[in-house]
Amino acid sequence: MLGVLTGFTVVWIIILTGYLIGRLKVLGANAQNVLSRLAFFVASPALLLVTLSDADLHTVFSLPLLVAAASAVVTAGIFVLSTRWWLRRPLPETLISAMSSSLVNGANLGLPIAVYVLGDAALIAPVLIFQMAFFTPLFLMLLDSATSGRRTSLRTFLGQIVRNPIIIGTLIGLFLAGTGLTLPVIILEPVTLIGGAAVPAMLLAFGISLVGSRLLERDGGRRADVLLATAFKLVLQPLLAYALARYILGMEGALLFAVVVTAALPTAQNVFVAANRYGQGELVAKDTVLLTTILSLPVLTVIAALLT
């Protein structure tokens, strides 16, 4: 338990440092965007490549992947069914809200939590693989169809996957792990150093993003959507993950803790990007991302106290 609390303390301190950097404008007005893009396009792929190249593939593609997939799909499905009947939102807006209720921030916050709290960046790989290779492209395909009136082709669906830099880094790492090949030291060392920038860059960018953020600043008649999506994300999804992992799959100990923690991560920031792209559910996406992000670390700390 002490190690887990130490890990959360490290995360909080770096986030607070980012917040102070943002408040003081030390890195300029565009610092959050630069740090986020550095982490997403450069450092995170490098970190995952190095981490997964030594990972046990049986761990990556076993029960944690099933728990991540099932808990997310069931959460999104229940959200769609309940809100379509109760709130009666248009389908594209319902899809954005469903994404907000089930898509976890596996990259920007999940990787730091995996490194500092779970002790192994490879533990976040199952949820990243599921979300980036299937879940997110599926939602985008449905949104494209719902807003344009045409079907999205399989080629477009696959293109969204293979162009993702984190997926590329993940696939290279998995290939190295599966074949037993190793990178030459002259390549491995710089890739490892670049990967080391991922976690601090993500957390600093997150801290900067909190500067000036306000919850439910414009209600727009969507407060119920935000609160429901937040409850689904931080309560229902981790409960489903725990029930499936503990009582159906018989998982326990550190592995059970890891799958519940990953399920309780806040809403992914790329949900707002998708909402902005399609012009649907932007207020719900923005406020759910912010609210779940603020509440997630206390929630994760409580989970740690209960399960460790």
* Amino acid 57: pLDDT: 75
pLDDT exceeds cutoff 90 at 285: no
Among 149-158, 220-229, 234-243, the range of highest mean pLDDT: 234-243
N-terminal to C-terminal alpha carbon distance within the chain: 6
- Mean pLDDT value across residues 253-269: 90
Examine the pLDDT at 194 and tell me if it is beyond 80. yes
- pLDDT of residue 219 exceeding 70, the answer is no
∠67-72-74 over CA atoms, to 5°?
A: 95
CA distance 284 to 119: 33
CA pair distance 203, 104, nearest whole angstrom:
16
- CA separation for the pair 26, 146 (Å, rounded): 43
CB 208 within 8 A of CB 19: yes
pTM over 0.85: no
What pLDDT sits at residue 178? 85
Segment 149-175, tens digit of pLDDT? 555 566 766 666 666 787 788 789 888
What's the rounded Cα separation, in Å, for the pair 39 and 108?
8
Tell me the pLDDT tens digit for each residue of 15-41.
Answer: 899 999 999 999 988 888 888 888 878
In angstroms, what CA-CA distances link 112 with 45, 75, 117, 141? 14, 24, 8, 29
Q: Which amino acid is at 87?
A: L
* CA–CA distance, 251 with 96 (Å, rounded to integer): 32
Res 40: pLDDT: 75
Mean pLDDT of all residues belonging to the chain: 83
